[in-house]
């Protein structure tokens, strides 16, 4: 087997502390024969803990140089798929039953990966991810905090979020420049159903475009100034507020108001 060379471009910061790997796997509360996806098994430190749980494990690893090593270590205990997790159609791999995801994610795929997870949220019963701490804090943020924003709303729209624990750089090889953290996502049973989700996310985006500005100012990017005035009478949200003070249900109220406004005025 040829000597393995780490690839920074693939976010290869391998975990070296078995206890952390165990702690991550414990957060998934796995049952025997449950379907689990691991993204980026690397050299298999998490994989090894997952195999111990006797789950039905599928690992997606982009780096073909790691495949022989993983095959040798785990043999038939794991289904190894040598692909880019962002480029495949997840539907082709999803079983009928719900799946749990457990992964120490490569930093550079965090956003597109999370986006894909939200699109298939109902297929997963739990998602346990190690990601950059700064991103984990934004995902788990409370209203009004400096970390609260579009990403918070987006992930919390689909999932109940728990911040697990922080992990320092010293337990990786090579060490990353930043701290990491483990987050736990559980699909919401009370996920809001909106007729025009695209519009909702557009309002959220516009609302946060300039965090320091009031809603009435930011919303001018979406609706003409006189219509913003009219909006005041169509929803109970004071437009002098800033987006970071609005809860999900208040954003929905704003969205309902804007939909009414658009209907009444035939706006695009
Ligand atoms: N799980 C191992 C651990 O904890 O030590 C490795 C984690 S390392 C942070 C990320 C792993 O994801 C690497 O093995 C890398 O090759 C793999 N990877 C990077 N981009 C990927 C992608 N788009 N699809 C699948 N695997 C990817």
- Residue 59: both structure tokens together: 């690992």
Tell me: do 181 and 202 sit in the same domain: no
| Centre of ligand 1 from the C-alpha of residue 11, in Å | 6
CB atoms within 10 A of CB 200: 22
* pLDDT tens digits, one per residue of 36-80: 999 999 999 999 999 999 999 999 999 999 999 999 999 999 999
Tell me: do 106 and 133 sit in the same domain: yes
Domain count, the chain: 2
> Does the CB atom of residue 10 touch ligand 1 within 6 A?
yes
Residue 207 placed within a domain: yes
Residue 2 placed within a domain: no
Residue 205 placed within a domain: yes
Q: Whose CA is nearest to atom 1 of ligand 1?
A: 41
Tell which of 187, 214, 241 closes a domain.
187
Residue 105 placed within a domain: yes
| Centre of ligand 1 from the C-alpha of residue 143, in Å | 32
CATH code of the domain in which 261 resides: 1.10.8.100
Residue pair 132/110 in contact by the 8 Å Cβ criterion: yes
Residue 3 placed within a domain: no
Strand pairing partners for 265? none
Tell which of 133, 159, 187 closes a domain.
187
Tell me: do 201 and 150 sit in the same domain: no
> Does the CB atom of residue 44 touch ligand 1 within 6 A?
no
Residue 118 placed within a domain: yes
Q: Whose CA is nearest to atom 14 of ligand 1?
A: 42
Task: Give dist(CA 217, CA 239) in Å, integer.
Answer: 8
| Centre of ligand 1 from the C-alpha of residue 41, in Å | 6
Mean pLDDT over residues 241-251, rounded? Answer: 97
Q: Whose CA is nearest to atom 5 of ligand 1?
A: 14
Q: Whose CA is nearest to atom 2 of ligand 1?
A: 42
CATH code of the domain in which 155 resides: 3.40.50.150
Tell me: do 163 and 204 sit in the same domain: no
* pLDDT tens digits, one per residue of 99-146: 999 999 999 999 999 999 999 999 999 999 999 999 999 999 999 999
Domain of residue 133, residue span: 8-187
Tell me: do 122 and 246 sit in the same domain: no
> Does the CB atom of residue 218 touch ligand 1 within 6 A?
no
Mean pLDDT over residues 240-268, rounded? Answer: 90
Tell which of 187, 221, 245 closes a domain.
187
Residue pair 150/203 in contact by the 8 Å Cβ criterion: no
Tell me: do 183 and 206 sit in the same domain: no
pTM: 0.95
C-alpha neighbours within 13 Å on the C-beta side of residue 240: 0
Tell me: do 257 and 146 sit in the same domain: no
Q: Does residue 147 or residue 3 have the better pLDDT?
A: 147
Q: What number does the ligand 1 atom closest to the CA of 38 have?
A: 1
């Amino acid at each position: 087997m040829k000597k393995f060379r780490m690839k920074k471009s693939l976010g290869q910061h391998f975990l070296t502390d078995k206890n952390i790997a165990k702690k991550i796997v414990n957060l998934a509360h796995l049952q025997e024969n449950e379907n689990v996806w691991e993204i980026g098994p690397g050299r298999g430190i998490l994989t090894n803990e997952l195999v111990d749980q006797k789950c039905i494990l599928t690992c997606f690893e982009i780096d073909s140089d790691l495949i022989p090593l993983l095959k040798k270590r785990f043999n038939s205990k794991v289904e190894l798929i040598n692909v880019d997790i962002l480029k495949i159609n997840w539907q082709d791999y999803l079983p009928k039953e719900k799946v749990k995801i457990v992964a120490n994610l490569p930093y550079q795929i965090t956003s597109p990966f999370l986006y894909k997870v939200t699109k298939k949220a109902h297929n997963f019963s739990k998602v346990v991810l190690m990601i950059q701490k700064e991103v984990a804090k934004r995902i788990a943020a409370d209203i009004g905090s400096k970390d609260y924003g579009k990403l918070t709303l987006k992930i919390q729209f689909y999932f109940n979020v728990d911040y697990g624990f922080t992990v320092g750089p010293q337990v990786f090889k090579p060490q990353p420049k930043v701290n990491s953290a483990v987050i736990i996502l559980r699909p919401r049973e009370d996920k809001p159903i909106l007729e025009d989700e695209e519009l909702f996310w557009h309002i959220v985006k516009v609302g946060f475009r300039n965090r320091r500005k009031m809603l009435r100012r930011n919303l001018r990017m979406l609706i003409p100034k006189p219509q913003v005035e009219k909006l005041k009478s169509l929803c109970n949200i004071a437009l002098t507020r800033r987006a970071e003070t609005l809860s999900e249900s208040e954003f929905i109220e704003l969205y309902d108001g804007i939909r009414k406004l658009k209907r009444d005025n035939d706006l695009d």
